[in-house]
């Protein structure tokens, strides 16, 4: 009889332990919760240069600012004008609307442009501008591109040329 009294607490503890099926269901729920809360890493955006053939093809003439990343050669990867901004990705022209509430840059360009998939911000060091032509001024600047989740997918320092 004494052994029953000693075994009773252990028997009660065994009843509280979940079954293997319950353990598996709890594990699957925990995995599903982690997956639901995971945020995929932002893509790395690769921009194509906008050269004269693209400027002619898409009629990208006019006053504004163009950004060339350091080490990126001579081709601009972003152009900001009075009402629109432009970038090329995988050979496709992306068009952005100028954020009219953002700061105005030289030659009617805007600091921020919004598009369907991305937005970009062009920050200039305006105090350090150098006249590079009759109607152009060169500035050091930074181009930051964000995706729809506001994650930075491209950021570079480089030359920003503003002019007509």
Tokens of 82: 């009075």
DSSP E strands, the chain: 64-69, 78-81, 84-89, 92-98, 112-114, 118-124, 130-133, 136-147, 152-163
Mean pLDDT on 31-57: 84
pLDDT, position 104? 95
Q: Give the predicted TM-score (pTM) of the model.
A: 0.75
The phi, psi pair for 157, rounded to 5°, reads: -100, 150
Decide which of 65 and 13 is more confident: 65
CA atoms lying within 13 Å on the CB side of residue 100: 1
**Residue 128 pLDDT > 90, yes or no?**
no
């Amino acid at each position: 009889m004494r052994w029953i009294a000693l075994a009773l607490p252990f028997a009660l503890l065994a009843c509280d332990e979940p079954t293997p099926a319950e353990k598996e269901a709890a594990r699957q729920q925990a995995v599903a919760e982690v997956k639901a809360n995971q945020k995929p890493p932002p893509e790395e955006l690769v921009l194509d240069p906008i050269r004269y053939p693209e400027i002619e093809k898409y009629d990208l003439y006019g006053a504004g600012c163009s950004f060339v990343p350091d080490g990126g050669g001579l081709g601009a990867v972003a152009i900001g004008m009075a009402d629109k901004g432009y970038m090329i990705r995988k050979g496709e022209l992306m068009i952005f609307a100028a954020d009219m509430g953002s700061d105005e840059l030289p030659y009617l360009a805007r600091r921020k442009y919004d598009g369907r998939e991305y937005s970009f911000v062009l920050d200039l060091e305006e105090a350090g501008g150098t006249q590079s032509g009759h109607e152009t001024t060169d500035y050091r600047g930074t181009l930051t591109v964000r995706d729809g989740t506001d994650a930075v997918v491209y950021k570079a320092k480089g030359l920003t040329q503003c002019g007509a």
